Amino acid sequence: MYIIGITGPTGAGKTTALRVLEELGGQVFDCDAIYHELLRTDRELLGQIEAAFPGAVQDDVLDRKALGARVFADPEGLEKLTGITQPIVAKRVMEEIAKADTTSSVIRLAGDAGCHLPRKGKALAVIDAIGLFESGLGKKCGLTVAVVADPEVRVRRLMDRDGISEDYARARIAAQKPSQWFAQQADLVLENNGTEAEFAEKCRAEFTRRLRKEGLMDPYTYVTLRDRPELEEQAADWFHSKWRVPKEAYLACMDAYLAGKTEYGWYLCLDGERIIGGMGVIENDFHDRKDLSPNVCAVYTEADCRGRGIAGRLLNLTVEDQRAKGISPVYLVTDHTGFYERYGWEFFCMAQGDGEEHPTRLYIHR
pLDDT of residue 96: 92
pLDDT of residue 112: 34
Q: How far apart (Å, rounded) are the C-alpha atoms in residues 261 and 257?
A: 6
Over residues 113-145, the pLDDT tens digits come to 344 444 444 589 999 999 999 999 999 999 999
Model pTM greater than 0.75? no
Residues paired with residue 35 on neighbouring β-strands, in sequence order: none
Domain ranges of the chain: 2-219, 222-365
pLDDT of residue 113: 37
pLDDT of residue 122: 56
Contacts 24+ apart (CB under 8 A), 354-363: 354/286, 354/287, 354/288, 355/286, 360/287, 360/333, 360/334, 360/335, 361/333, 361/334, 361/335, 361/336, 361/337, 362/287, 362/289, 362/292, 362/331, 362/332, 362/333, 363/331, 363/332, 363/333, 363/334
Q: How far apart (Å, rounded) are the C-alpha atoms in residues 208 and 213?
A: 8
Over residues 145-157, the pLDDT tens digits come to 999 999 999 999 9
pLDDT of residue 258: 98
- Counting as low any pLDDT under 70, the low residues of the chain are 101-122
CATH architecture under which domain 2-219 falls: 3-Layer(aba) Sandwich (3.40)
In CATH, what number does 222-365 get? 3.40.630.30
